[in-house]
């Protein structure tokens, strides 16, 4: 039986000594998560293509809060770049405890789709033709590379190091956290069929990885976080309450009447990465202020 001390939240959520890597960690949700992991004591490598953004974040982090934030330039759509990052972590740390697959883009849009007054919506023929002409196979392919395929390649590249990290303490397994979206579980297109279907693919990749790794006896847990309306590079730097429904593009208002906070996002990631979430496998935590409770979804 666990000791009474182990039930204290600050013990269950402590990430001291853990090594983490967060893709797309320099801005938005990735930054929220990186800062949360570091504040819980982790040594966090943040990656993105723009090194200057990462360096700025790293330089501004107050180590008195806890942990470290270290920049590492990586393109998650390039296998050579991923392999180089894996080699760097392997030589520097020899293991990895937490991998957060957060890198993503919004993708192609057909903004007229949800506008009843748009001429493109005057008939099925007009709508179909407009959507066919407005988007391209190339844009869809590029988007899927970032939002779903990158999860496969980054996870497989670091799988051995994650398994190595699980050897540190019996029963305290390394964790993969995929940042998906409520857009992958709702039945609304929100003007971007590509983004929503790519996020649905990311959700299913989470479940497949979790199941297959467990069946093969590989000691790595895989879960995902599906955010609702949060400030990010894909939305706005700040989302005041009156803008939440405009960003969410639901048919019903978000019950919480506000956007999610960095604290809520960070705490959810820390839960999944820490001992507190150590019994969770293959699940998707939806943090959306009630969006999926009142809008059509698959959950």
Pairing state between β 174-179 and 98-101 = parallel
The CA-based angle 271-147-238, given to 5 degrees, is 65
Q: What angle, rounded to 10 degrees, do the helices at 262-273 and 28-39 form?
A: 60
Q: Which two tokens stand for residue 94?
A: 């020899």
Instruction: Output the furthest CA–CA distance in the chain (Å, rounded).
Output: 67
Distance CA 206, CA 269 (A): 15
Pairing state between β 19-23 and 98-101 = parallel
Distance CA 153, CA 79 (A): 7
Distance CA 79, CA 81 (A): 5
Catalytic (active-site) positions:
181, 195, 199
Distance CA 130, CA 235 (A): 24
Distance CA 136, CA 216 (A): 39
């Amino acid at each position: 039986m666990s000791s009474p001390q182990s039930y204290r939240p600050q013990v269950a959520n402590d990430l001291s000594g853990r090594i983490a890597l967060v893709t797309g960690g320099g801005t938005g949700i990735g930054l929220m998560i990186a800062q949360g992991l570091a504040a819980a004591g982790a040594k966090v490598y943040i990656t993105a293509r723009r090194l200057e953004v990462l360096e700025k974040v790293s330089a501004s982090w107050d180590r008195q809060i806890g942990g470290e934030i270290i920049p590492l330039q990586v393109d998650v759509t390039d296998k050579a770049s991923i392999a180089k990052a894996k080699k760097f972590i392997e030589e520097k740390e020899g293991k990895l405890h937490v991998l957060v697959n957060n890198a993503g883009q919004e993708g192609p849009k057909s903004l007229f789709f949800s506008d009843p007054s748009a001429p493109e919506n005057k008939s099925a023929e007009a709508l179909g033709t407009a959507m066919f002409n407005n988007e391209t196979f190339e844009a869809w392919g590029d988007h899927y590379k970032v939002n779903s395929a990158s999860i496969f390649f980054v996870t497989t590249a670091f799988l051995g190091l994650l398994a190595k990290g699980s050897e540190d303490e019996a029963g305290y397994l390394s964790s993969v956290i995929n940042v998906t979206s409520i857009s992958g579980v709702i039945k609304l297109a929100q003007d971007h069929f590509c983004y929503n279907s790519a996020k649905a693919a990311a959700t299913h990749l989470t479940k497949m990885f979790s199941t297959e790794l467990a069946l093969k006896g590989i000691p790595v847990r895989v879960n995902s976080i599906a955010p609702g309306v949060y400030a990010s590079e894909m939305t706005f730097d700040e989302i005041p309450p009156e803008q939440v429904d405009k960003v969410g593009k639901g048919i019903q208002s978000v019950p919480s009447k506000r956007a999610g906070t960095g604290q809520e996002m960070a705490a959810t990631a820390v839960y999944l990465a820490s001992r507190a979430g150590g019994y969770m496998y293959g699940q998707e935590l939806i943090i959306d202020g009630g969006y999926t409770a009142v809008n059509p979804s698959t959950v």
